């Protein structure tokens, strides 16, 4: 595998489409939230799309993904069907978790997508364990574990990095550093804000990446995954990004200025990549229109699917607290 993304036009358009697909889907989710179709917490990935889109497509089918409560983008890029993701957010039993998890708990065994973990840093030990199983069976499988900068303050982050390094486990740690743990700025919660250095202190190969540049993320992810497959050892990417929207739908964003957000929006991953494609005449307006139309159609289909979905009968409430079969 080459570290350099092969920037064929088809590949470029794929990257752009993945990002637009996440963005438009989540814009619609926000709208559906205000219509009370989606309830609970809803955490949008708006601004951070280049991370999921740069990393996930280079993984193999057998590889595994552990994510956070801001995971719609990861799920979509991984191949969790949009309609199953949206039905899950509606709470319908046709959802990818049977409607039981909601926005924060998208699971999909078929694509090795292990959630959707709403405990900050709670997914890291799980990722280490998945990788431990693969390591013990000598299988060449990578577990990609996504988490935010807030996770870095948790003990589970440090315990997990140490264990992965100590036991040489094939984990790709992807820190989505969007500069805020909910409303607390990184500089207010970390004495060392160069987060990749923390991984280096555990002797994990690590690098900071411009998380707003999908091509840079993909290049770094290729380097990382190649290294993991060759050495079996973990790798750490600190993707520096920014969350354009509120933390969740209940956030007045008192902790940052509008100007700061505006400045970041100028270098947003979609604006930037599309602008680059346009200025290099690598995308025709018709192609962009086609992408938008395809995405819009898929979203409409997903909404129709979720609307037509059914509620799990309340008498099933306690099912699957435990397995219903013998081992």
Partner 1 sequence: MGAGGEPHALHICGKGGLTGSTRIMPQDLDRSEPAELSYREAVREAIRDALIRDQRVFLMGEDVGRYGGCYAVSKGLLSEFGAERIRDTPLSESAFTGAGIGAAIAGMRPIVELMTVNFSLLALDQILNTAATIRHMSGNQFDVPLVIRMATGAGRQLAAQHSHSLEGWYAHIPGIKVLAPATIEDARGMLWTALEDPDPVLIFENIMLYNMMGKLAADAGPVEIAKAAVRREGRDISLITYGGSLWKTLEAASLLAAENIEAEVIDLRSLRPLDDATIMASVSKTRRAIIVDEGWRSGSISAEICARIVEQTFWEIDAPLGRVCSEEVPVPYPRHLEQAAIPQAAKIVAAAKVAVGRA
Q: Could you count the other beta carbons within 10 Å of the beta carbon of residue 153?
A: 15
Residues 62, 16, 41, CA angle at the centre, nearest 5°?
70
State CA 72 to chain mean position distance: 7
Treating both helix axes as pointing N-terminal to C-terminal, what angle do 285-308 and 82-90 enclose, rounded to 10 degrees? Answer: 40
- Of 36-44, 133-141, 200-208, 253-261, which segment contacts partner 1 by CB under 8 A? 133-141
Q: Which of 46, 63, 156, 238 binds partner 1 (CB under 8 A)?
A: 156
Q: Which of 159, 287, 292, 301 binds partner 1 (CB under 8 A)?
A: 159
154: left (phi over 0), alpha (psi -120 to 50) or beta: beta
Question: CB 248 → partner 1: shortest distance, Å?
Answer: 19
- Of 31-39, 151-159, 190-198, 226-234, which segment contacts partner 1 by CB under 8 A? 151-159
Question: CB 84 → partner 1: shortest distance, Å?
Answer: 11
Interactions with partner 1, residue window 163-182 (CB under 8 A): 163, 166-167
Rg (CA), the chain: 19
* 130 is an interface residue for partner 1 by CB under 8 A: yes
* 119 is an interface residue for partner 1 by CB under 8 A: yes
Is there a contact between 62 and 86 (Cβ–Cβ < 8 Å)? no
Residue 206 buriedness (CB in 10 A; 0-12 / 13-18 / 19+)? buried
Residue-wise burial string across 162-182, b where 16 or more C-beta atoms lie within 10 A, e elsewhere: ebbbeeebbbbbbbbbbbbbe
Question: CB 125 → partner 1: shortest distance, Å?
Answer: 2
* 149 is an interface residue for partner 1 by CB under 8 A: no
H/E element, 54:
helix 49-55
Interactions with partner 1, residue window 44-83 (CB under 8 A): 64
* 314 is an interface residue for partner 1 by CB under 8 A: no
Question: CB 65 → partner 1: shortest distance, Å?
Answer: 12
* 269 is an interface residue for partner 1 by CB under 8 A: no
- Of 98-106, 185-193, 197-205, 293-301, which segment contacts partner 1 by CB under 8 A? 98-106
Q: Which of 91, 115, 148, 150 binds partner 1 (CB under 8 A)?
A: 115
Question: CB 225 → partner 1: shortest distance, Å?
Answer: 19
Nearer to partner 1, 168 or 188 (CB): 168
DSSP classification of residue 202: T
State how beta strands 184-185 and 171-177 pair. Answer: unpaired
The rounded distance, in Å, linking the Cα atoms of 158 and 207 is: 17
Torsion angle of alpha carbons 72, 78, 79, 82, nearest 10°?
10
Question: CB 203 → partner 1: shortest distance, Å?
Answer: 14
* 322 is an interface residue for partner 1 by CB under 8 A: yes
Question: CB 73 → partner 1: shortest distance, Å?
Answer: 19
* 125 is an interface residue for partner 1 by CB under 8 A: yes
Helix ranges restricted to H, 140-257: 155-166, 186-189, 195-201, 214-231
Question: CB 66 → partner 1: shortest distance, Å?
Answer: 8
Nearer to partner 1, 137 or 258 (CB): 137
The rounded distance, in Å, linking the Cα atoms of 287 and 277 is: 11
List interacting residues with partner 1 (CB under 8 A).
64, 93, 95-101, 105, 107-109, 114-115, 117, 119, 122, 124-134, 136-137, 155-156, 159-160, 162-163, 166-167, 319-325, 327
């Amino acid at each position: 595998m080459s570290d350099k993304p092969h920037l064929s036009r088809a590949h470029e358009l794929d990257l752009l489409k993945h990002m637009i697909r996440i963005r438009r889907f989540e814009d619609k989710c926000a709208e559906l939230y205000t219509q009370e179709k989606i309830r609970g917490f809803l955490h949008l990935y708006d601004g951070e799309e280049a991370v999921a889109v740069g990393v996930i497509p280079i993984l193999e089918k057998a590889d595994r993904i552990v994510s956070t409560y801001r995971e719609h983008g990861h799920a979509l890029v991984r191949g969790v069907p949009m309609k199953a993701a949206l039905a899950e957010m509606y709470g319908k039993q046709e959802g990818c978790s049977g409607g039981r998890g909601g926005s924060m708990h998208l699971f999909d065994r078929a694509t090795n997508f292990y959630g959707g973990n709403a405990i900050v840093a709670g997914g890291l030990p799980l990722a280490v364990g998945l990788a431990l199983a693969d390591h013990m069976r000598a299988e060449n499988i990578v577990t990609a574990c996504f988490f935010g900068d807030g996770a870095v303050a948790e003990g589970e982050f440090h315990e997990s990095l140490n264990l992965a390094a100590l036991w040489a486990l094939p984990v790709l740690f992807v820190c989505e550093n969007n500069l805020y743990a909910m409303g607390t700025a990184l500089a207010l919660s970390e004495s060392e804000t160069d987060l990749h250095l923390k991984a280096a202190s555990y002797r994990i190969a690590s690098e900071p990446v411009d998380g707003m540049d999908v091509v840079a993320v993909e290049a770094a992810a290729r380097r990382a995954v190649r290294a993991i497959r060759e050495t079996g050892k973990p790798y750490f990417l600190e993707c520096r990004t920014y969350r354009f929207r509120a933390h969740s739908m209940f956030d007045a964003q008192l902790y940052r200025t509008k100007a700061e957000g505006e400045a970041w929006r100028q270098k947003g991953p979609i604006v930037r990549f599309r602008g680059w494609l346009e200025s290099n005449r690598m995308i025709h307006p018709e192609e962009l229109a086609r992408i938008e139309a395809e995405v819009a159609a898929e979203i409409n289909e997903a909404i129709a699917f979720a609307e037509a979905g059914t509620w799990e009968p309340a008498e099933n409430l306690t099912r699957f607290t435990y397995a219903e079969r013998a081992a």
